[in-house]
Chain A
Amino acid sequence: MKQIQTEPLVRIVKKEDMPAWQKIAVRLSSILLALIVSAVVIYAITKYNPIMVYQTMISGAFGTKTRIWSTIKEMLMLSCIAIGLAPAFRMRFWNIGAEGQVLVGGIVTAGCMIYLKDLPAPILFVIMFAASMLAGALWAFLPALFKAKWNTNETLFTLMMNYVAIQLTSFAVAKWENPYGSNTVGVINQNTRAGWFPTILGTQYFMNVFLVLLLTVLMFVYLKYTKHGYEIAVVGESQNTARYAGINVSTVIIRTLLLSGAVCGLAGFIAVSGASHTISTSTAGGRGFTAIIVAWLSKFNTFTMLLISLLLAFLDSGAGEIASKCKLNDYASQMIIGIILFFILGSEFFINYRLIFRTKTKEVA
């Protein structure tokens, strides 16, 4: 009796390490593909020429000096949060709570600006700097402690902490609202500019750029070249291996999360003191979630985070411009960002795996 044995139509095989240029090529083509799909979507909705749409986006993001700065501000904010998340993710600890950690950092910064506005500027800055990091670290400490001691699910715990922080922000807004009844805090210290980042080299955003770039380098070195960074990587790969190697897993988890939360809290400080000079739930505005994707896609490389953040910031301000030109609302940018992220996420597959199609059918007697 003849039996026909067939291999499956497609087999998936893990790929050996791909050359760097190929990885970049795969990612760039996924972005390109995503932009084409987005262009089709935009065309279907607005009937505008897609090329013109992208030209409008570029002018929306980089057209004037103010626009360039607002794009850069957005990019710095996303990078800063993503940098904060990097050590946690490297350890496979799903810190989904960046949104909340940023907000509590922002709340205490705003509080310092309101209550301590008469202090000399350098002292005020040191206090805000330390307080925001402390607040963020505390917000990450709770989930980390329970994860380390009782293996409580950190994804869900940190997620819930976000909403506690959001309510806390609303509480702060209600408490500090100015003018009364407006339900917003308004620009804090508008006249005295106490607690605002100073203008250096002709730009008020010098400190933002400086701080985030410094963090980028420091975190890169910390993760790649220090003992702590190595321990984080080992715990991330396998907790059992880490224990066998004599690493105290609980300590590493708690220490790393304190750091992660502190940097996210610092992002809140930069957002309040260095950009908006006010506090509201939109101080974080979903960036805590977007940054998770940035951190993951960059594979913990802080310099890649800057690039991905730039792409997202560009899309955000660019799509906003299209929306206002076409009298559509600016949620279009979220839609396009979603599409692009789907494509980048999908493209990782082609970096890590290889498809083998069935070549022949064997006949077995």
Chain B
Amino acid sequence: MSYVPDELKYTSSHEWVQKTDQGTFRVGITEHAQEQLGDIVFVELPEVESSYAEGDEAGVVESVKTASDIYAPMAGTVVAVNEALEDKPELINESPYDDGWIFELQAEDEAEFEGLLNADDYRALIAEE
């Protein structure tokens, strides 16, 4: 079973979401997702200041094998992106929950965070796959 940190929230499309000390929401893909993709070679980051509804395509992660969309887990505006991924997309393989974060959102409605999957829900989800 892939590592699923207890303190994060999750989506059924395999993003993780973390509330930062600044009150923004940091987004990446889970260890399970990066394992499924294999060696990641390119990340198309969203643009800072772009806005998304919940479930909108906000970026793309491409491995040698395939391309996978990244969805906005909550409605909001992008306030930061992880530019290190432009030169080192493999950070997502090496450190999916830390150095491999993808973007940060200023949420429109912070209550949406509570509606995301918790770690146990997400573990159950990937166990079924």
Q: Do A and B bind each other?
A: no
